[in-house]
Amino acid sequence: MKLLLIRHPRPDVPEGTCYGRLDVAPQRAHLEESVRRLRERWLSGAHPPPAAVFSSPLQRCALLAGALAGDVWPQVRHDERIAEVHFGQWEGRPWAQLPRHEIDAWRADIANHRPPGGESLQDLASRLLSFADEHLPRDADPDAEVVLVTHVGVIQTLRRLLRSEPMTGFGATPVDYSSISTLVRRGDGYELESYNVAP
């Protein structure tokens, strides 16, 4: 099985804003370019039609997935478990204006620390494992492709969970807007087959 993790287009939000579960729209021009690029990718015949497409319900993902549903993709299934991590009281605020002691505590233990009123990465990992247990069965067709249109935190976390890697080093792993991270199942685990940066 191949798992294609697609990050949403660039959001229409001021630079430097903390947004996780905040439901911000994508920039229209970037959304249209992302739809065009992905449609061409599947129409080229380089990929079989996906066996399934899942999307975060947040509009920056759902609008992209919905634009391709019934065209080059099957109908999309929305799942709250692949929504972005919740930053609680930080949501919608500039990162530069967040209390320094709260940011420092979070960075010191990024896997387990919860922002005020929010989730930790371990909380995110728990719901992603629930999603994987339900929708990524070990006995799935090895040639099947499953697409997730989701968020950077989800992609970073899934890439680690499915490869049994620690929840560290997030800043060192690039996941650009509208990029595709392709994981392929080999035996009991997954390997990162490719990472395609959006144009």
Rounded CA-CA distance 17/34 in Å is 22
- The reported pLDDT for the residue numbered 187 is 80
Work out the end-to-end distance of the chain between its first and last CA atoms, rounded to an integer number of angstroms.
26
pTM: 0.94
Residues sharing a CB contact under 8 Å with residue 147, sequence separation 6 or more, in sequence order: 4, 6, 50, 52, 53, 54, 73
**pLDDT value of position 139:** 80
Q: Using an 8 Å Cβ cutoff, are 62 and 90 in contact? A: no
Nearby residues of 98 by Cβ (< 8 Å), 6 or more positions away:
18, 90
Residues of the chain with pLDDT under 50: 199
Class of CATH domain 2-146+161-196: alpha beta
The full set of domain ranges for the chain reads: 2-146+161-196
| Chain centre to alpha carbon of residue 78 | 13
pLDDT score for 198:
59
Residue 22's contacts (CB-CB under 8 Å, 6 or more residues apart) are: 13, 91, 92
What does the pLDDT read at residue 182?
Answer: 93
